[in-house]
Amino acid sequence: MIRTIFITGATDGIGFETAKLLATGGHTLLLHGRSDAKLATAKLKLSEANPNATIETFRADLSNLPEVADLAAAVKEKHTKLDVLINNAGVFKTAEPLTDHGYDVRFIVNTVAPYLLTRLLMEVIPASGRIVNLSSAAQAPVDLDALNGRKTLSDNEAYAQSKLGITMWSFAMANSLSANGPLIISVNPGSLLASKMVKEAYGIPGHDISVGAEILIRASLDEEFSMASGRYFDNDSKKFAAPHSDALDVDKNLALTAAMDKLIAGIH
């Protein structure tokens, strides 16, 4: 079945590798990136390898929440149905760790932006659709003061907290939707894969990145994930697993989503 699939952070790393593999299946691919030049290059490479593929590009800086809202509006202007949303974009280390409004970039890009984007796109994602959120083996309790820009964290702390954050809201949103769908699945694609992020953060080449792309495609399309809403898949152990215990705490999940709702209030 041909599907319309939106991938954030699709110009390199796991996102681009995922798009490359999906393009061979004839799906309509919506690629997000923050650079027009990189988006053009990604589209050209995919189109040359798959001349019949339908590929569209959308530019936005996910650290800027109004741009996230504009991104959702641009997608909805062209598409009345989105079968799969893969919230892949993420950041670990950056020269400017704070946004113009004083928020930690890692929390905004890794946790809040995909939450806002998902909420705004929900009206075009059918009950049969899927939302796949990129988590990580690195998960640490979320400090709401840090989320709200009142506390500074190290790169490792901010990344681990932001990745638990996206896992927590995945569970909370899946719980609220229940049988009314779409499926919401959080995935650790694999540790230390050969992405730009890993190379910049740790100075190592990393493992085969196709391992991460393949699990994202399985989570997006395969029957084995058809009952996996509100679950966490750990690709290091190759199985569904328990995330950090905070993601299973209903009260903590609700506190996080309430804090994010307050942060994004007024952004449409």
Beta carbons within 8 Å of 154's beta carbon, 6+ residues apart: none
Mean pLDDT by 10 residues, the chain (268 residues): 95 95 94 97 95 95 97 98 97 88 94 98 97 96 95 94 98 90 93 54 61 95 95 95 96 97 89
What is the per-residue pLDDT for 207? 56
Domain boundaries, the chain: 4-264
The CATH superfamily holding the domain 4-264 is: NAD(P)-binding Rossmann-like Domain (3.40.50.720)
What is the per-residue pLDDT for 15? 96
Q: Are strands 239-241 and 231-234 parallel, antiparallel or unpaired?
A: antiparallel
- Torsion (CA) 136, 138, 139, 143 in degrees, nearest 10: -120
User: What is the spatial distance between Cα 81 and Cα 58, in angstroms, rounded to a whole number?
Assistant: 16
What is the per-residue pLDDT for 194? 47
User: What is the spatial distance between Cα 156 and Cα 92, in angstroms, rounded to a whole number?
Assistant: 8
- Give the relative orientation of helices 113-121 and 250-264 as an angle to the nearest 10 degrees: 80
What is the per-residue pLDDT for 203? 57
E strands, 8-87, are: 28-33, 54-59, 84-87
Collapsed DSSP state (helix, strand, coil) of residue 251 = helix
What is the per-residue pLDDT for 266? 81
Range 57-96 burial, b when 16+ CB lie within 10 A, else e: bbbbbbbbbebbbbbbebbeeebeebbbbbbbbbbbeeee
Of the chain, the end-to-end C-alpha distance in Å amounts to: 32
Helix (H) / strand (E) element for 69: namely: helix 65-78
User: What is the spatial distance between Cα 200 and Cα 126, in angstroms, rounded to a whole number?
Assistant: 37
Q: For residues 162 and 108, is the Cβ–Cβ distance under 8 A?
A: no
Q: For residues 181 and 85, is the Cβ–Cβ distance under 8 A?
A: no
